[in-house]
């Protein structure tokens, strides 16, 4: 049975890490939250304290799992929520990548070369986040809420997929560490209810 009032999908980006602080691309490297990142995640938990979720999903990486725990949810780990695979650009900042390429670079349109991992482009990440949304939509249709805890670029790709933008258009959806966003419906149309909200005490 479908509810007359569908639920909402809440997105939480993990808290700060040393690499997010320095601007290094952190795909599959599994690094912990900083002390500040822990505090950020705790604030997100207080912000969401009155919410209940019928489905909770998280990236398997430590920074997302720890953020989910601090937010107060016990998520199912979903490999489709791994961060973008940055290939040869893992650990590099955007200025470093531009120097290496001797020119401009945009993750969303240029992708990455293979390195220790194969790397991904925006279309490949889109396939993954569409599978996540396929899991979430039936829950929302019943009028229940869901929460996803993951990483900056993969959540931006998910937001773009939700509102039916092209894969590369996730570039316009800025997302800070430990921010909270929500996706819902208006007149049956997928919409962004809120985006990149930084919880404050």
Active site residues: 14, 83
Q: Is 82 annotated as a binding residue?
A: no
Q: How far apart are CA 19 and CA 91, in angstroms?
A: 8
Q: Is 84 annotated as a binding residue?
A: yes
Q: Is 83 annotated as a binding residue?
A: yes
Q: Is 105 annotated as a binding residue?
A: no
Q: How far apart are CA 62 and CA 92, in angstroms?
A: 20
Q: Which residue from 190, 75, 57 is spatially nearest to 129, judged by alpha carbons? A: 57
Q: Is the dihedral of CA 101, 107, 111, 116 positive or negative?
A: positive
Q: Is 26 annotated as a binding residue?
A: yes
Q: How far apart are CA 57 and CA 77, in angstroms?
A: 6
Q: Is 143 annotated as a binding residue?
A: no
Q: How far apart are CA 118 and CA 127, in angstroms?
A: 16
Q: Is 162 annotated as a binding residue?
A: no
Which of helix, strand or coil describes residue 199?
coil
In Å, how far are 14, 70, 191 from 33, measured between CA atoms? Answer: 8, 11, 31
CA angle 143, 155, 86 (to 5 degrees): 155
Binding residues for substrate: 26-27, 63, 83-86
Binding residues: 26-27, 63, 83-86
């Amino acid at each position: 049975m479908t509810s007359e009032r569908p639920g909402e999908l809440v997105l939480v980006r993990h808290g700060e890490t040393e690499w997010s602080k320095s601007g290094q691309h952190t795909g599959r490297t599994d690094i912990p939250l900083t002390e500040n990142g822990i505090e950020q995640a705790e604030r997100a938990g207080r912000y969401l304290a009155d919410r209940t979720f019928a489905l909770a999903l998280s990236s398997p990486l430590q920074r997302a799992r720890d953020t989910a725990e601090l937010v107060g949810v016990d998520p199912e780990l979903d490999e489709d929520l791994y961060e973008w695979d940055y290939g040869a650009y893992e650990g590099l900042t955007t200025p470093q990548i531009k120097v290496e390429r001797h020119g401009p670079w945009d993750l969303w349109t240029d992708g990455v070369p293979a390195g220790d991992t194969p790397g991904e482009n925006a279309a490949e990440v889109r396939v993954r986040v569409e599978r996540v949304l396929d899991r979430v939509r039936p829950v929302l249709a019943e009028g229940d809420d869901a929460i996803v805890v993951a990483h900056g670029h993969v959540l931006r790709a998910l937001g773009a997929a939700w509102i039916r933008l092209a894969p590369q258009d996730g570039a316009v959806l800025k997302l800070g560490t430990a921010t909270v966003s929500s996706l819902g419906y208006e007149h049956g149309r997928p919409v962004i209810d809120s985006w990149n909200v930084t919880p404050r005490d």
